[in-house]
Structure 1
Amino acid sequence: MHSPITGTAAGVPFTALPPADGGAAPLIVTWHMLDAPRSDAAFAAALPMHDVPAWRVHLGMPMCGARMVDGKTDAIVELFQKDPVKLFLHPFVRQATEELPAALESIRAQLPVGDGPIGVLGGSLGGAVALRVLAETDIPVFAGAVVNGAIRMRSVVELFPGDYPYDAETEEIVDSLDFVAKAATIADRAPLLVVSGELDHPGLRADALSFVEAAGERAELLSIPGLAHPLAEEPGIEPAPQLPVAREVDAALTTWFRRRLG
């Protein structure tokens, strides 16, 4: 087992895990949760997928990991307390998606991953990034997966305290991040595994089912008993020992991507 490789790709911090032989192989790109594990390094430890014959490059989300302000998450908390849609959810997903083309070019210059289609994986809010890559970019993807994904942003907003004061702008934003409505487009792009913890938030569980029903046979739903929303214990910033429920998710993702790599 090779040690993680850390670096930056066009300004985006990453933690890369090589395939078993450490040589040339396809690429899987991931985006972590904003719950634990909430950094690229911690996500790599929670879902390493060691037996997948591919490079797994875990990208850092905006203002997370090496990009935290003063080494803390306080700045993120301040943003979502002020306006979770305009200042947190939408700009984070948009920035992470828009960073990918340049980051991908840089990764290919640094690692022996070739220029073929990539795999994409996202957890929670990172899931919205993976889905947006599939729905709104032309980057070739051989397979995707989301874990407790933010599939409908309106459901995520409902997790914040109080009633969010929607206006025309924010209604348009959450509609643009409703991936159930874009399920057919996503299914045309790549097969998708939707992993949903049986103890995840009920709204997110319902969205996972709705997405798979809308996507048809190109999407598969996998429920994980005992899994709530996080995949790691708090604080979830540094790499930590893999929890048993995360190990089960990791095994499912490994099987999924191995099968799609043929």
Structure 2
Amino acid sequence: MSSLNLIELAGVPVLVRPPINTDKPAPLIILWHGFGPPDSEKVLAETLPLESVEAWKAYLGLPLFGQRLPEGGTDELMRRQIDDYVLKLLLPIIEQATHELPDVVKALQERFSIDPNKGIGLFGFSAGGFTALLALLESKIPITAAVLAGITKDLHTAVNSYERIVQETYSFLKEQYPWVEDKYKKYSWSEKSEAAKQRLDFIVRAEEITKRNPLPATLFVHGMQDEIYEVSNTEKLYAALLSKYEQLNQSERLSMQIFRHLAHHIKPAATDISPEQRQDIATLQETVANWFSKYLIV
């Protein structure tokens, strides 16, 4: 496996994996992890090495994770999550990560032999996928290809999933965090979080993605056994985008692949996964690599 370089660029921890051939400029792929496995730039780099893709791979640590944990560590993250999942955890993280993106891309281009004419590839898993979607909607960097893994169609659906998990694990949460109260079983929408709900309605804003130049070749990958975000919701977002891509006669630049045996979190290093899951992970790795090779390495 090619070497990984851990550096800090624009205040962001980044693991960089070079292309096999570093003698000539190559495209750049930015990759974001999620809140659960793969939940760090290191674990994501191990999960999705993309060795065969002739591109620079930059695995970015999300704000408030890893080296950027807030004072109080994971307990403080839990406090923010329970207090206001949208406004104190999810939205600040994906907003900051999107805001950091142009400076990180610029710093990478200045430091490594990256071809500025090839556009940028994006990969995001779960919360990292929300970041990639927000970048597709609001960032001005040229995004040529994107892969969205384990995401859902909008913020409202994500909050519904969050509420369900809190309710299912409430006894454990109460034991670990005595300050947790019954009121936290339901998310309390405010004027600001309602505004975020509109902003992160990816179906409503689907047409904005198709107005990008270049039109991003976008691949959705999702596990049929995903217990966090139901695949049916992701299919609705895919369908909304497909109608727009078809209007542009560009339907070949949009795809979705469902993996029968995969759940939400991906753990290729785990010893207790079934042969079917291991095969799905290998196919997922190959599918993502092939997508970037086809639409980014041109």
Task: Assess same fold via TM > 0.5.
Answer: yes
Distance 1:243 1:110, change over 3 A: farther
Distance 1:102 1:219, change over 3 A: same
The structure, 1 or 2, with the larger RCO (C-alpha pairs under 8 Å, 6+ apart) is 1
Residue segments in structure 2 that go unaligned for 5+ positions in a row: 167-184, 243-250, 271-276
CA displacement, residues 228-248 of structure 1 (integer Å, 9 cap, x when unaligned): 11112799xxxxxx9554332
Between the aligned partners of 1:232 and 1:120, the Cα distance in structure 2 is 21
| Map of 2:238 onto structure 1 | 212
Residue segments in structure 1 that go unaligned for 5+ positions in a row: 236-241
Q: 2:161 aligns to what SS in structure 1?
A: coil
1:111 aligns with 2:112: yes
| Map of 2:191 onto structure 1 | 168
For residue 148 of structure 2, the aligned residue among 134, 146, 149 is: 146
1:186 aligns with 2:209: yes
Distance 1:188 1:207, change over 3 A: farther
Between the aligned partners of 1:45 and 1:158, the Cα distance in structure 2 is 31
Q: With structure 1 as the length reference, what TM-score do the two structures score?
A: 0.91
Between the aligned partners of 2:190 and 2:76, the Cα distance in structure 1 is 25
Between the aligned partners of 1:234 and 1:172, the Cα distance in structure 2 is 40
Between the aligned partners of 1:259 and 1:5, the Cα distance in structure 2 is 26
Between the aligned partners of 2:18 and 2:160, the Cα distance in structure 1 is 38
Between the aligned partners of 2:125 and 2:51, the Cα distance in structure 1 is 18
1:101 aligns with 2:102: yes
Between the aligned partners of 2:32 and 2:268, the Cα distance in structure 1 is 18
1:159 aligns with 2:180: no
Between the aligned partners of 2:230 and 2:16, the Cα distance in structure 1 is 29
Distance 1:78 1:246, change over 3 A: farther
Between the aligned partners of 1:119 and 1:96, the Cα distance in structure 2 is 15
Q: How far off is 1:103 after superposition?
A: 1.1
Equivalenced residue count is 256
| Map of 1:232 onto structure 2 | 267
- The 8 Å contact of residues 26 and 56 in structure 2, kept in 1 or not, is answered as yes
Range with bigger deviation, 11-20 or 150-159: 150-159
Letter in 2 for 1:20: I
Between the aligned partners of 2:35 and 2:196, the Cα distance in structure 1 is 19
Between the aligned partners of 1:121 and 1:174, the Cα distance in structure 2 is 23
Structure whose alpha-carbon radius of gyration is higher: 2
Between the aligned partners of 1:10 and 1:225, the Cα distance in structure 2 is 39
- The 8 Å contact of residues 161 and 228 in structure 2, kept in 1 or not, is answered as no
For residue 200 of structure 1, the aligned residue among 226, 251, 254 is: 226
Identity of aligned residues (%): 29
Between the aligned partners of 1:156 and 1:88, the Cα distance in structure 2 is 13
- The 8 Å contact of residues 31 and 122 in structure 1, kept in 2 or not, is answered as yes
| Map of 1:239 onto structure 2 | none
Distance 1:202 1:62, change over 3 A: closer
| Map of 1:25 onto structure 2 | 26
Distance 1:71 1:113, change over 3 A: farther
